[in-house]
Structure 1
Amino acid sequence: MHSWTDTLRFAFQPVVNLATGGVTALEVLARPETGDVLAEARRDPDLDGRLAVLALRAATRQSTPLPLHLNVFAGTLADLGGLGPLNEAVRAAGRMPWEVTLDLVPPYTHVPHRALLEAVGALRGQGFRISTDGVGDGDAPLRLLADLSPDLLKLDCSMLAHPAAVRAMRTLCEGSGALLAVEGVETERQYAVALSAGAHLAQGELFAPPARLPAADVYVPPRPPAVLATSRSGPYVREFLRPAALLPVDASAGQVRALLTGSPDVSGVLLVDRCGVPVRSVHRSRFLLTMSGRYGHALYAERPAAKLGDPPRTVGADPTAWEVLDVVAVGGRDRTSDDVAVVDRRGRCVGVVRLADLVRALAESRIEEAAALNPLTRLPGSDAITAEVDRRIVAGRAFTLSWLDVDDFKRVNDSAGFAAGDELIRSVGRALQRAATGSTCVGHIGGDDFLVLADPDGLEQTAAALLDARWSAGGLPVTLSLATVVCAPASVSDHRQAAACLAPLKQAAKAMRGAAWVLGRPGLPGHEVRRGPAVTAVQAG
């Protein structure tokens, strides 16, 4: 009897990491030669679940070590409450559930959201990773996206026509620890927009089209020089994930050798326990050198590979690249080239990062930072401060944003000369840097204007060091004015709103004679005068 599976084929499309240029996973796509089995699967949850199992088996036949992305309709999960047969098939294929990402495909209309969330929770409990597919071109409500808290959010390429919307999705992802991917990228211009908007991953015809065999190579355009670093404190580890080569902890040295010789791009193998927790790390060069020595194969081939490994170096997905360098620095110099295993909250390996990727990214970020520094004070400009403001807003942190400037600075330049004025600005900048403690960030936004971003309890000391000091330029006494807006969590939506709240406070401080400090809060009328010739508790707004 003729079966629809006889005409069903599968294609593989790479998912590319934009930070490293490497392939981080393969999406497995059903390609029926006749009929429309996908339309049937949308109406038949059992059929959709069978398609996911067949896609997994198709990838298993290709013997690819890469993590997999499998498509499943959101309605299927809500109806079935999970994918029991897929979990069994993953184990039978010798895979770990966390090597499989389930791409939830729209529509979401008429899908019971509570049932969907319960099914996703059950799949997460089994170890599967979750992605939301087609965001921007589908019908996924923002509230559902937030409730799902996916590991990966896939944007439709049409959203690249609206870079601000892509950046907003990036901010949403940063708040939940997710990665942002763009699918359907076809041109180098789209690639450049995806990069500049902060996407981590991408897939599309530009890199490699879907093919019957997994692509051995992908095309990645040269990185545009205008792309700025993600964060002043360094990019996050999760942006540099590469697939990990995993074997059971009891694997023999012969099995490790076969994996390494068959996969020249693999720099090391992690030996993991039954739960996927790294136990030993086998470095490619050191291992093959031992195995290629005289009697090496005879001595070690049938012995446990763990005896030729080292304790693994592990980090979570949330640290920055700088923090990973601290991990790499611990131990002997002979291990500086070892991959670092990235683990989830349960300690399971979700990928590796390579030192070369981190060093290159950090070097680029410092070059970009240096180009953005004010040449007079060597302090960062407003972009760095406002980006950090947005990060704190997303993280739900309280903060204070202050605007500091020199009173009547034009008179200083006119009377004492521009050289004395420049030296005064440099002196204020140095004082700001000395007074900044903890997570305080200072920036010079031009002329005599400075920004100070601090925790609510970290500003009083900085203000005293600046306002109570005796300032002069060319023998002329000089005073400073400070305006501060105190932002509780959720009191402002972004840095623009914080700056708008700060503007009238600056005007109030400048209207006072001598050193002054005015403080206000978003949404509340009036302001408090902390320093000034006539200090009062609250001035009418």
Structure 2
Amino acid sequence: MHSWTDTLRFAFQPVINLSTGGVAGLEILARPETGDVLAEARRDPELDGRLALLAVRAAAHKETLLPLHVNVFAGTLADLGGLTPLHDAVRQAGRLPWEVTIDVGPPFTHVPQPALLEAVSGLRGQGFRISADGVGDGDIPLRLLTDMAPDLVKLDASLLARPTAVRAMRTLCDGLGALLCVEGVETELQCAAALSAGAQLAQGDLFAPPSRLPAVDVYVPPRSPDTAPNPRSGPSIREFVRPAALLPATASAGQVRALLTGSPEVSGVLLVDRTGVPVRSVHRSRFLLSMSGPYGHALYAERPAAKLGDPPRTVGIDATAWEVLDVVAVGGRSRTSDDVAVVDHHGRCVGVVRLADLVRSLAESRVEEAAGLNPLTRLPGSDAITGEVDRCIADGRAFALSWLDVDHFKQVNDGAGFAAGDELIRSVGRALQRAASGSTRVGHIGGDDFLVLADPEELDPLAASVLDALWSASGRPVTLSLATVICAPGSVTDHRQAAGWLAPLKKTAKSLHGASWVLGHAGLPGHEVRRGSGAAPTRAEWAAAEPGTG
């Protein structure tokens, strides 16, 4: 009589890093040839636990070095109090617990939450990473999701039709210290939507369908300029993490050599202690050069590989790409090509980043930023500012969006000439840049129009610096008009709605005499006149004030 395990096979589907285009891990999927073992496993925790063990062993047979994702029903963890045999199975397979993510999946209804949370805590204590699976199409309560504090949240692709929900989940993930992954991506439009909504990882048939052999080649659509990372705040290092090649700190040089020669894509090996903390970094080229020298193999093969390594360069999982570049810049030039280890809040290695990935991404973002600069002031255009506005909204931050322009600028050009008008615009742009502080962003959207995005508390000094200045063009006095809308969290849904609230404030500011400033609040009626009074002068009145006229 044949057991159900005789007809059970496993398939592997890659999890893709959307920033690097590389494979960040492999999800192991049970594929029974007969029967519905998954339906049985949902009812039988012991069976589900056995499937998890078999999945790890199946991956060991494929000799993949990639991190693994193993599926387990939430009820199984609560019923069994965790997966006690899994830790030993992972070690026997030559893997380390922190290379394995437990995808905890629905249903969550009727699962005793205290027991589930206790099991999750136990797995995390052993070093396993935790993923909340099926979010958005499943039944996990939001409170339970936050209590689990997963390392990864997997969203159903159906939520991409509701980008506000995806952005909100990205905000939640940032607060939990988790990555956001979208499952079931099948089209390039869905991939672009996942990127623009803030997802860092994705999986689906677009990249590679599940297969019996771990995918070597995956398809990742080219990244459009609209989804380029923000170069000012600095992209998070989470977007660039690659799987790390890990060996115990006690590994011999021969073991490291066998790993490197069998895996040409591996650029280096990290030696970690029993808790997963990196203790030495072995660079591929330098190590193999030492081993290939005269008597190199005879001298080093049985000796600890740590003797041929260097102190690891590490950054925290919350670091930005710019901080990694600072780490790389410290030390000798011989180590600029070394991988940088990324560690979690316990110091355990969760992956590596490569300098080439960072440089390429940051260079692309700089090119895109330069292409959008106004040629007169070298300030970014409206797209850069409105993109920042949308990020503020997605992050749930209050912000102040201001519009500023030169009063009667056409008359400035007519009376003083285009050269004087251009110099005036450049001067206003420089003044705004000098006044900008903290996270303030200044944009030149064309002609004499500027946009300023700032924290509300930064408004007063910025406004004073430009409105109190004595402006002139070829001796002709010039005044500026400023309109500001303050947007509290939840008051607007996107930059277009913020601009809609700003438009009438701009019209009011232009109707006032002298340097003017009108301030309003999105979603609330009325406005406050902070500068200016009465009606603005007519064209004839303005012309009469010019030197040599009237």
How does the TM-score come out when normalised to structure 2? 0.88
Partner of 1:24: 24
User: Shift of residue 366 of structure 1?
Assistant: 0.9
Give the distance between the partners of 1:91 and 1:464, measured in 2 at CA: 65
Give the distance between the partners of 2:412 and 2:113, measured in 1 at CA: 64
Partner of 1:537: none
Q: Does 1:448 align with 2:448?
A: yes
Question: Which amino acid is the alignment partner of residue 300 of structure 2?
Answer: Y
User: In the superposition, relative to structure 1, how do residues 532 and 170 fare at CA in structure 2: closer, same or farther (>3 Å)?
Assistant: same
Partner of 1:45: 45
User: Shift of residue 38 of structure 1?
Assistant: 0.3
Partner of 2:266: 266
Counterparts of residues 294-309 of structure 1 (less than 5 Å): 294-309=294-309
Q: Deviations over 1:350-383 (max 9, x none)?
A: 0001111111111111111112222332211233
User: In the superposition, relative to structure 1, how do residues 54 and 221 fare at CA in structure 2: closer, same or farther (>3 Å)?
Assistant: closer
- The 3-state SS of whatever aligns with 1:514 is strand
Give the distance between the partners of 1:204 and 1:27, measured in 2 at CA: 11
Partner of 1:439: 439
Number of aligned residue pairs: 533
- The 3-state SS of whatever aligns with 1:210 is coil
Q: Deviations over 1:447-476 (max 9, x none)?
A: 332222233443333222201111123443
Question: Which amino acid is the alignment partner of residue 244 of structure 1?
Answer: A
Question: Which amino acid is the alignment partner of residue 85 of structure 2?
Answer: P
Partner of 2:513: 513
- Cα contact 1:228–1:365 (8 A) shared by 2: no
Question: Which amino acid is the alignment partner of residue 321 of structure 1?
Answer: A
Higher mean displacement: 8-17 or 161-170: 161-170
Question: Which amino acid is the alignment partner of residue 429 of structure 1?
Answer: G
- The 3-state SS of whatever aligns with 1:30 is strand
User: Shift of residue 248 of structure 1?
Assistant: 1.1
Give the distance between the partners of 1:367 and 1:174, measured in 2 at CA: 27
User: In the superposition, relative to structure 1, how do residues 203 and 388 fare at CA in structure 2: closer, same or farther (>3 Å)?
Assistant: same
User: Shift of residue 348 of structure 1?
Assistant: 0.5
- Cα contact 2:157–2:185 (8 A) shared by 1: yes
Partner of 2:478: 478
Counterparts of residues 53-202 of structure 1 (less than 5 Å): 53-113=53-113, 115-140=115-140, 144-160=144-160, 166-202=166-202
User: Shift of residue 201 of structure 1?
Assistant: 2.4
- Cα contact 1:483–1:505 (8 A) shared by 2: yes
Q: Deviations over 1:400-420 (max 9, x none)?
A: 332222223344345445544
Computed over aligned residues only, the root mean square deviation of the Cα atoms, in angstroms, reads 2.8
- Cα contact 2:157–2:184 (8 A) shared by 1: yes
User: Shift of residue 138 of structure 1?
Assistant: 3.3
- Cα contact 1:400–1:487 (8 A) shared by 2: yes
Counterparts of residues 336-355 of structure 1 (less than 5 Å): 336-355=336-355
Give the distance between the partners of 2:46 and 2:505, measured in 1 at CA: 62
Higher mean displacement: 234-243 or 131-140: 131-140
Higher mean displacement: 30-39 or 221-230: 221-230
- Cα contact 1:232–1:384 (8 A) shared by 2: no
User: In the superposition, relative to structure 1, how do residues 150 and 386 fare at CA in structure 2: closer, same or farther (>3 Å)?
Assistant: farther
Give the distance between the partners of 2:200 and 2:427, measured in 1 at CA: 40
Partner of 1:401: 401
- Cα contact 1:480–1:516 (8 A) shared by 2: yes
Question: Which amino acid is the alignment partner of residue 127 of structure 1?
Answer: G
How does the TM-score come out when normalised to structure 1? 0.89
User: Shift of residue 179 of structure 1?
Assistant: 2.6
- Cα contact 1:174–1:394 (8 A) shared by 2: no
Question: Which amino acid is the alignment partner of residue 455 of structure 2?
Answer: D
Q: What percent of counterpart residues are identical?
A: 79
Give the distance between the partners of 2:374 and 2:167, measured in 1 at CA: 26
User: In the superposition, relative to structure 1, how do residues 188 and 521 fare at CA in structure 2: closer, same or farther (>3 Å)?
Assistant: closer
Give the distance between the partners of 2:390 and 2:114, measured in 1 at CA: 31
User: Shift of residue 477 of structure 1?
Assistant: 1.6
Counterparts of residues 357-396 of structure 1 (less than 5 Å): 357-395=357-395
Give the distance between the partners of 2:162 and 2:154, measured in 1 at CA: 15
- The 3-state SS of whatever aligns with 2:213 is coil
- The 3-state SS of whatever aligns with 2:77 is helix
Partner of 2:219: 220
Give the distance between the partners of 1:149 and 1:29, measured in 2 at CA: 24
Partner of 1:231: 230
